[in-house]
Amino acid sequence: MTSLAETIDIALAAVGPETEGRLRDVVAGFEALALADEERVAALATAVAAIASRHHGRHVSVYLEAVRTWSLEIAEMLQPAPAELRFIPDAGLIEEAARKLYGGLDTVIERMHREGVDVRDRLVTELAVVARFLGQHDSHTIAVAMMAVSRALADPAYRRGAVVRVPLREVAATPSLVPDIETMEPQGRA
């Protein structure tokens, strides 16, 4: 069994240097945008939904599970801090950033398809980019983002590219269903 890093390396080798160069351009373009954490997560969720709706048809749930799993694996390695919720997200900026990411990935995916790159290598390449960005966030943020994507795609009114609202503030403000053990009052006798 190969590691995630080895799987990605094998897929990138299969797509060739020109496609890999285009992928680097897509990644650099998205990274260059000055996005607050909440905007970045919403842009990623919007891009994941757009890619899933266009390229994964009947297999959307499998694709979303792969994105979630790979993102969580990367987050486990990086141990990122929770998302900072300091600014009110700018929907226009979210839409622009998402369009840049999914538009760039669309171009790369279509190019790989034309060049006859194996479907597995295309999928791994695409997952690697999306999971790399989502994996820079904590597991809670990833979970909320992926739930938001699932809800958006389940909505019959969803249209490709529509901003997926990720309710990080609402979820952060909701008290946990399981109280912290240090704050629990002892009850009864053992």
For the stretch 33-75, pLDDT in tens is: 989 999 999 999 999 999 999 988 889 999 999 999 999 999 9
- State residue 15's pLDDT score: 72
Whether 183 is covered by a domain: the verdict is no
Whether 185 is covered by a domain: the verdict is no
Whether 54 is covered by a domain: the verdict is yes
Whether 182 is covered by a domain: the verdict is no
Q: Where are the beta strands (DSSP E) in the chain?
A: none
More confident residue, 134 or 121: 134
Domain count of the chain? 1
Q: Which domain holds residue 116?
A: 4-163
Short-list 112, 113, 120, 136, CA closest to 23: 112
- State residue 148's pLDDT score: 96
Whether 180 is covered by a domain: the verdict is no
Whether 179 is covered by a domain: the verdict is no
Q: CA-to-CA distance for 163 and 158, rounded, in angstroms?
A: 10
Whether 81 is covered by a domain: the verdict is yes
**Those residues with Cβ within 8 angstroms of residue 140's Cβ, 6 or more apart along the chain or in another chain:** 82, 171
Q: How many CB atoms lie within 10 A of CB 128?
A: 20
Whether 171 is covered by a domain: the verdict is no
